[in-house]
Amino acid sequence: MAMLEVDSLCFAYGKKPLLDEISFSVSEGEIIALIGISGSGKTTLFRLITGLMKPDSGEIRIAGKPVQQSELLTTYMRQEDMLLPWRTVLSNLLLFTELGKNKVPPNLNKAHMLLKRIGLEGSAENYPDALSGGMRQRVALARALLQNRPLMLLDEPFASLDVILREQLYALMREIRTQYNKTIVMVTHDFRDAMALADRILVLSGGVIAANCTVTPEMKADPHTSDQLIQHIRELLSAAL
């Protein structure tokens, strides 16, 4: 089953086309990495998928439903952590339970479990200004995971994190995907993120999907094959500069 379907999507800022007949689909339980140079339309694409912006033409369906009917199916983690400075880490995690038409009771046990998994179990009552950039990024990721919606859109989820923390969060993302059959689309500029997690890499260049690359477990395990794929993607991105 396709969790996300993007069909002939077009969008322009004024007379400048940004996305031109974009089409792709993402299967339920799949992890997709979306790679493109700055200004290629990655964040705009996410905003269109969430309904924050409207396309000029084309269709987007989530679990077979139009975007306007699928608000509760999608979690969107932006590049900015969006933490409210007057709320503690724990209350920032649980903010979504207080908002929207379909409020849900807070799951304190799961919130504390996620804080432990991201290495911030002692920071539940701290305020955001007491956290480093990397810590704030982890809180934002935990908040996205806590919402427990089937489609997750993650914009640079591992920015500002060191290698050890990245590996820990890779393991958490794999576990979440397997346990809850999450579908994840993530924007990243880091090939480590893409090769570690993605089943496919989509290259957005020149307003189109310039490549749709499958990443097999064998490719992940073979440095030579991985390097070949990364070099191919770099060449596509360089052509757009």
pLDDT at 5: 96
Distance separating alpha carbons of residues 194 and 215, to the nearest angstrom: 9
Q: What CATH number is attached to the domain comprising 218? A: 3.40.50.300
Is residue 85 domain-resident? no
Query: Is residue 22 a contact partner of residue 211, using CB atoms and an 8 Å limit?
Result: no
pLDDT at 184: 95
HSE (CB half, 13 Å, CA atoms) of 76?
17
Residue 152's DSSP bridge partners are 75, 184
pLDDT at 94: 87
Is residue 110 domain-resident? no
pLDDT at 46: 94
Number of domains in the chain: 1
Under DSSP, the state recorded for 38 is T
pLDDT at 133: 84
Distance separating alpha carbons of residues 122 and 138, to the nearest angstrom: 14
**Paired tokens of 150:** 């089937």
Domain span holding position 227: 2-80+150-239
Is residue 119 domain-resident? no
Instruction: Provide the 10 A C-beta neighbour count for residue 64.
Output: 11
pLDDT at 11: 95
pLDDT at 3: 95
> Which H helix or E strand runs over 232?
helix 223-239
Is residue 125 domain-resident? no
Residue 208's DSSP bridge partners are 205
Residues 6 or more apart from 57 whose CB is under 8 A from it? 8, 9, 10
Per DSSP, the residues of 143-202 read: HHHHT--SEEEEESTTTT--HHHHHHHHHHHHHHHHHH--EEEEE-S-HHHHHHH-SEEE
The three-state (H, E, C) secondary structure of 50-106, written as one string: CCCCCCCEEEEEECCEEHHHCHHHEEEECCCCCCCCCCCHHHHHCHHHHCCCCCCCC
Is residue 117 domain-resident? no
Distance separating alpha carbons of residues 179 and 122, to the nearest angstrom: 26
Q: Which residues of the chain have pLDDT under 50?
A: none
The dihedral formed by the CA atoms of 65, 29, 138 and 110, expressed in degrees to the nearest 10: 90
